[in-house]
């Protein structure tokens, strides 16, 4: 729990009764298939934590002692260089989990995790979770599927950086975020700043702003404070598939 509480987090059972925790876990895509008895057991292991935006959850190199399930808010998974440059590897939203790599292999954390908004999390200790997973073969398969999805996501990011030009990388990132969040066509609002998306795709904020304004003029996107609204996903997909020849 120490790693989750660094940076101002609070843990406790009062904000979440047992029935409330069960309800949340029952809706969580990773745990929703569990039998009632297994859910009851998992509920006893899950500790409720609230974190303020900007709070550090864990740092690269920390021991991987806990698994985290996001109830609300967004968590940023990132790495940084000695000279202060940052790269965002993933944004984890409600209904997703993170910290699974270190909890499964026992190695140190491979990246930093930071609350990107005010968050509610469930935290499950590795000493309790590993025996639980061994007793739930179906849950093991869900984790294999999750790890495969993470690997595909990483491969796509590498492909974008190596093979696509700057507009193609930005378009791919926006499409990927809308699909990852399961956003409906009528409400494709991505809660992300231009600085954050620049750290995801390896572009300067100035380049991001210039490209987004060009797309806003075409009514492909709309820019809001702290968010980007995708208005024409098909045009962005066409840009990606065509190789992003036109930078505007």
Q: Which fold has domain 2-136?
A: Jelly Rolls (2.60.120)
Within 13 Å, how many C-alpha atoms sit on residue 64's CB side? 20
Q: Domain coordinates of the chain in residue numbers?
A: 2-136, 164-241
- Tell me the per-residue pLDDT of 8-55, one tens digit each, with 9 for 90 and over: 455 444 445 667 778 778 877 788 888 889 988 988 899 999 999 999
Q: Does domain 164-241 have CATH number 3.40.50.2300?
A: no
What whole-number distance in Å separates Cα of residue 193 and Cα of residue 214?
17
The Cα–Cα gap between 19 and 207 comes to: 48
- What Å distances lie between residue 94 and 25, 30, 122, 128, CA to CA? 11, 12, 11, 23
Q: How confident is the model at residue 1 (pLDDT cuts 50, 70, 90)?
A: very low
Question: What's the mean per-residue pLDDT of the chain?
Answer: 83
DSSP 22: H
Helices (H) and strands (E) in the chain, counts: 10, 12
- Pairing state between β 189-190 and 97-98: unpaired
Query: pTM for this one?
Result: 0.76
């Amino acid at each position: 729990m120490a790693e989750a509480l660094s940076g101002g987090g609070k843990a406790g059972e009062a904000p979440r009764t047992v029935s409330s925790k069960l309800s949340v876990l029952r809706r969580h895509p990773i745990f929703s298939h569990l039998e009632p008895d297994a859910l009851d057991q998992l509920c006893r292991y899950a500790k409720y934590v609230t974190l303020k935006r900007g709070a550090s959850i864990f740092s690269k190199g920390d021991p991987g002692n806990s698994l985290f399930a996001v109830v609300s808010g967004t968590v940023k998974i990132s790495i940084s260089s000695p000279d202060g440059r940052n790269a965002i590897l993933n944004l984890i939203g409600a209904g997703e989990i993170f910290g699974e790599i270190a909890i499964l292999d026992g190695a140190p954390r491979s990246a930093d995790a930071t609350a990107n908004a005010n968050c509610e999390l469930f935290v499950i200790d590795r000493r309790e979770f590993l025996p639980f997973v061994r007793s739930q073969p179906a849950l093991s398969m869900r984790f294999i599927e999750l790890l495969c999805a993470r690997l595909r996501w990483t491969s796509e990011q590498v492909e974008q950086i190596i093979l696509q030009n700057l507009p193609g990388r930005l378009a791919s990132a926006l499409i990927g975020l809308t699909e990852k969040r399961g956003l409906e066509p009528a409400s494709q609002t991505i809660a992300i700043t231009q600085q954050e998306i620049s750290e995801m795709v390896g572009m300067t904020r100035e380049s991001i702003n210039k490209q987004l304004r060009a797309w806003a003029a075409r009514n492909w996107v709309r820019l809001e404070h702290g968010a980007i609204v995708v208005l024409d996903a098909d045009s962005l997909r066409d840009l990606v598939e065509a190789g992003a020849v036109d930078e505007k």
